[in-house]
Amino acid sequence: MKGRTLVAWNLRRLRTERGLTQTQLATDAGVDHVHVGALEREIKSATVDFLDKLAAALDVPIADFFEVPTRGEKRPGGLKSGRKPSSK
């Protein structure tokens, strides 16, 4: 697995495990949410400084972005979307 793919995989996995949206993570890390989305879609790569900010916001070591998934592991999905139930 290429480095960019590995970072994207683990970023999404770590973010969704914590129930954070891209915007929430970006706000916590003090970075632009557009860049977080671009990383997850493998459109952009990240500097070590940027990964440090994300790792701090997720409370994980930076090495967690380079964890190789087990064979057959499904790609992390996004958060469930939807609205709060209406009060009708």
* Distance between CA atoms of residues 68 and 61, nearest Å: 15
The two structure tokens encoding residue 34: 């557009």
> What is this structure's pTM?
0.82
Task: List domains and CATH numbers for the chain.
Answer: 3-62 (1.10.260.40)
Band (pLDDT 50/70/90 cuts) for residue 1 is: confident
pLDDT tens across 28-59, in order? 999 999 999 999 999 999 999 999 999 999 99
pLDDT above 50 (res 86): no
